[in-house]
Amino acid sequence: MLATQLNRRHLGPLLWAHTVVSSSSPRLLVDSITFASPEYEGLGAISAAHDSTESLPPPQPTSAIYRPPILDMRGGGMLWFWSAGVLSYLQQQQDLAAVRLHGSSSGAIAAALAACDVPLELAAQRVAHVLAEHGVHDRLFGLLGVWGTIARRCLNELLPEDAHTRCTGRVRVRLTAWPSLQPIFLERFHSKADVIDACLASGHLPFLLDGRLAARLRGGKAMDGAFCRLRFGAVRLRNAEGLEQLVLSGQEYAKRLHARGVWAAWLDTQHIIVVDDFLPASLAERLRAVYDERMVLDQLRPQQQRAEWGALEGPPDFRLFRTPASTFFPSVLYRELEQTLAAYGMELGCCGVSPILVSYYIEGCNHGWFCPAPKGPLAFVLSLTRWQERGFKGGELVMLQPNVWETDETTVMEPRFNRIILFDGRISYAVRQVEGTQDPLDARISLIGWLRQPELCLKGSLTKAEAAPVVAACQAAIHSALGDPAPAAGTVTVRLEVCGRTGAVTDIKWLLNTLRVADQLGSAPPWLVLERQLGTIAEHCCAARFPPSGDGGDTQVTLPLVFS
């Protein structure tokens, strides 16, 4: 049963996306996405998907099946560089810990590198450098006969020694068996060398890699996993500038999907959410116009009628100015702002918004590294800065990665006009010092606050008194099954569709997930821990039975789950 279908003509390179729900048995398949390079559709294709219903076991009336998101990277020859661009953007902007990575041909290489947390942008630079070292751009036959040697060298350099452990159960490599030409799949690997052999066999174009028809692998023979769909444009050699352009093209493509909210809708964990053009354009412009007017006219008003800009109290490396938005903006305008934020929060299962503050940064203002006591699952920064016309340097929002003890990488985001950045309140962040302006009209201006903790929310025929006991029992069962503390900490909100006639849960929609795996879980990979915890949540939610409604009408139940 197809619950949601996006019109293909509205998606451009985004080919399809849907959520599948079985009406006879509540099963969860999170949004599926397939997309391809606009220039080379069908070559450098990547698909982000969940298993189709055909692969599911027979219906179980009291169980739910959680399918983790899958990033499926098809073969593309030299368009591996485009795939590397897409993945490098995702590595910087999204949490891929719970994502399964499938690939064939060059896509298998990209999948293995991503599963081992190798920065794909650096990997692309290294591969381009090795290609130049071998002089392939000047060779009469280009990569013919040397491709295999180059790929093996790069994988040996880039993959860690425990690559087989990281890839087993998370990476799925597609190959074509020889001579049957039947597809085969590998998901378990015995060593780093086994991972490399599998990737090279999956990308073994006859005679091209090393002059052999097929690659030897585990006592058999195999060739390119995308061999039956091969198009020769995929192996066209490009110069160094062309390879770099492919990486940039992939990054820009992923960035466009990010701006449309595609990644946030597909990926399970949401530690950072960025939405451009968040407010209606007229509302954003009115807010900025009021700010500009007040900053000018306040200079002419008596002190008691001016906005009270208080400097933030904090360590020496903190300096910025803040004032309550409720007193700064006209009440009607403030309510419109608050209602817009609250409506967005409701889509994530958050019931309400904290008091909003207006802040501005001028010369010398900055915000040092800080991790506040969370006042909700997500903090937000909504920019009113005329970023493209700014006359200052600095002001970017900088965040540490959720796995701060494993990497010193940061995420840097520009506070563009009408862009909202929501982030997990447990993430440490800072704002780069502003230099070059003393004018509050040419300043870094933003609205800041929190989405409040989720609460039980109902929409439909059931009353809170009727639903609350079932919800409490469901929450207790989930916490009991997971233990105390749960393997992963954070907030999860789900929206249950409850049948008014039977009280059964017919659909689940995941609204918010900020789960982060605890550090002390030993050898269990983060993606497996998250998969198990989300599967437990889905199973107990689908087993819940609500009382039938008095009028037979259906009900939406927003269920909050907080794991500390």
Residue boundaries of the structural domains of the chain: 2-56+65-266, 272-451, 457-563
Indicate the SS3 state at residue 311. strand
Task: Answer whether residue 522 shows pLDDT above 80.
Answer: no
CATH code: domain 272-451 is 2.60.120.620
Alpha-carbon distances of 45 from 36, 75, 82, 238, 548, rounded to whole Å: 4, 7, 9, 18, 47
State the catalytic residue, choosing from 32, 105, 106, 359. Answer: 105
Alpha-carbon distances of 306 from 65, 293, 298, 499, rounded to whole Å: 58, 12, 5, 55
> Per DSSP, what are the bridge partners of residue 351?
none
DSSP secondary structure letter of residue 154 = H
Q: Which of 59, 335, 76, 370 is nearest to 203 (CA)?
A: 76
Q: Which residues contact 295 (CB under 8 A, 6 or more apart)?
A: 440, 441
| Contact assessment for residue 384 and residue 357, using Cβ atoms and an 8 Å cutoff | no
300: its two tokens: 């002419």
Is 554 among the residues known to form the active site? no
The CA-to-CA distance between both ends of the chain, in Å, stands at 36
Q: How far apart are CA 358 and CA 376, in angstroms?
A: 19
Q: Which residue has the higher pLDDT, 211 or 544?
A: 544
Give the pTM. 0.60
pLDDT for the residue numbered 182: 83
User: Considering just the CA atoms, what is the radius of gyration of the chain in Å?
Assistant: 26
Count Cα atoms within 13 angstroms, Cβ side, for 498.
30
Q: Which residues contact 308 (CB under 8 A, 6 or more apart)?
A: 323, 327
User: C-alpha 422: how far from its chain's center?
Assistant: 13
User: Residue 564, class by beta-carbon neighbours within 10 Å (0-12 exposed, 13-18 middle, 19+ buried)?
Assistant: exposed
**How open is the CA angle 453-456-460, to the nearest 5 degrees?**
140
For residues 363-376, give the mean pLDDT: 79
410-413 and 220-223 beta bridge pairing: unpaired
pLDDT for the residue numbered 484: 84
129: its two tokens: 């450098």
Indicate the SS3 state at residue 91. helix
Q: Which residue has the higher pLDDT, 303 or 140?
A: 303
CATH code: domain 457-563 is 3.30.1150
What region, left, alpha or beta, does residue 181 occupy, with left being phi > 0 and alpha being psi -120 to 50 degrees? Answer: left
**Cβ count within 10 A of residue 188:** 10
> Per DSSP, what are the bridge partners of residue 17?
33
DSSP secondary structure letter of residue 531 = H
Omega before 487 within 30 of 0, i.e. cis: no
| Contact assessment for residue 365 and residue 332, using Cβ atoms and an 8 Å cutoff | no
Indicate the SS3 state at residue 310. strand
265: its two tokens: 């809708």
pLDDT for the residue numbered 45: 42
Is 331 among the residues known to form the active site? no
**How open is the CA angle 449-455-457, to the nearest 5 degrees?**
120
For residues 30-46, give the mean pLDDT: 36
Count Cα atoms within 13 angstroms, Cβ side, for 110.
34
User: Residue 228, class by beta-carbon neighbours within 10 Å (0-12 exposed, 13-18 middle, 19+ buried)?
Assistant: exposed
Q: Which residue has the higher pLDDT, 441 or 78?
A: 441
Alpha helix (H) ranges present in 203-308?
240-259, 262-266, 281-297
Task: Tell me the pLDDT band of 31, cut-offs 50, 70 and 90.
Answer: very low
pLDDT for the residue numbered 307: 73
Secondary element (H or E) of residue 560: strand 555-563
Longest Cα separation, the chain: 88
What rounded mean pLDDT belongs to the chain?
Answer: 76
Alpha-carbon distances of 455 from 468, 509, 549, rounded to whole Å: 11, 16, 21
Task: Answer whether residue 262 shows pLDDT above 70.
Answer: no
Percent of the chain with pLDDT over 70: 73
Q: How far apart are CA 446 and CA 159, in angstroms?
A: 42
pLDDT for the residue numbered 145: 58
Report long-range pairs for 336-342 (Cβ below 8 Å, ≥24 apart): 336/283, 337/279, 337/283, 337/287, 337/447, 340/279, 340/280, 340/283, 341/380, 341/382, 341/449, 341/451
Q: At what angle do helices 106-115 and 120-133 cross, to 10 degrees?
A: 130
Q: What is the DSSP string of 148-165?
A: HHHHHHHHHHHS-TTHHH
Task: Tell me the pLDDT band of 509, cut-offs 50, 70 and 90.
Answer: confident
State the catalytic residue, choosing from 224, 268, 424, 507. Answer: 224
pLDDT for the residue numbered 248: 84
Q: How far apart are CA 212 and CA 145, in angstroms?
A: 9
Task: Answer whether residue 200 shows pLDDT above 70.
Answer: yes
Window from 8-22, 26-40, 336-350 with minimum mean pLDDT:
8-22
Window from 195-204, 223-232, 432-441 with minimum mean pLDDT:
223-232
Task: Answer whether residue 393 shows pLDDT above 70.
Answer: yes
